[in-house]
Amino acid sequence: MAITKIPAAGFTGNNFRNIIINGDMSIAQRGTSESGITSGGYFTVDRFRNGETGLGTWTQSQSTDVPSGQGFSNSLKMDCTTADAAPAAGDFLYVGQLIEGQNLQYLKKGTANAESVTMSFWVKSNKTGTYICELYDNDNTRQISKSYTIDTADTWEKKTITYAGDTTGAFDNDNALSLYCIFWLGAGSSYTSGTLNTDWNSSTTANRVVGQVNLADSTSNEWYITGVQLEAGTSASDFEFLPVDVNLQRCLRYYEGGSGASNVANVIGLPYRFCENIQSSTNRLKIFGGNFLVTKRADPTITLYADSGYATANRIGQYNGITNTLTVSSLGVGSRNHIAFYIQTSTTASTSITYAFYYEADAEL
């Protein structure tokens, strides 16, 4: 009887070929909408960061407006709510993803064998014209910018941009920031007054965003993006859809929890409500410790919030007129994995206290 040998399952060049995490915009731990944005930060869709200085006011959201028949359920939307038709020289606005160096070593940057990379994505806006997509090497202060054009208003279009490999300046092999992938939405003359740098070079600010339209020039303007993929090579493959549990695990490396009192429903970390009757005659008592769902990229910043869905008297901060402050202490070794909570009270009297809270752990680049 003939025996058919079945190849072993395992890693191939097609597994995790997309350098971008959450490029389908499906994970949004912090919430699905944030208004009044006038500065940089992480707001909705995981791993995508706003950069902004003085260029309008924005609402960012996880939208369900997507290109038809492509398999996407979500996009990231930027909606201008206060216009700025005359940017100051140093103003700018972008959406991008920051990538750690140890995930980029196979690109062989800084060697004679440096790999080209190709960015592909779906984009839609009412404002047609030229937009800039930039790769910025944070380790060596080098960059390359390429333009793409939104040709038809309010229509999903797929764009593909190839960047040559850079034979100068290797990425650091660590968990720190090495590469910015930037989708520019507007910039002042400090960034646009030169000649667009379409080859890898030392960064010159005036050459980074030349020709970019100003998405902030009208409150009618909006911009959507999804299906963001950056991969080695000179051509774009089909978007790499990952199972939702795998995609979530990758996002949790950088952020876990739910941001602020407005987002209790989105908390997915350790049990966000922890209630315990405590009899204590001291003013310092450990009440809780546990592991993160995923080991973080670095020691995270922990923020704790009162549980607004619980009885008022039992939230963090006050019980029976006694003021209590909840602080955080890591356990020393393994703080990328583990946290412990302590109650610090303003009294040493023995009392019965019930606390309810939730947290976020932020290890973003």
**pLDDT tens for each residue of 309-347:** 544 443 444 334 444 555 544 444 458 888 766 555 555
The mean pLDDT value for 105-117 works out to 98
% residues pLDDT > 90 (the chain):
67
pLDDT score, position 266: 47
What residue has token string 């660590």?
A: 174
In 10 A of CB 36, how many CB atoms?
9
3-state secondary structure of 215: helix
CA distance 177 to 46: 16
pLDDT tens digit sequence for 329-338:
444 445 888 8
CA distance 181 to 96: 5
% residues pLDDT > 70 (the chain):
74
Q: Where in the chain is the domain with CATH 2.60.120.260?
A: 33-242
pTM above 0.85, yes or no: yes
The mean pLDDT value for 108-129 works out to 98
CA distance 134 to 151: 20
Domain 33-242 fold: Jelly Rolls (2.60.120)
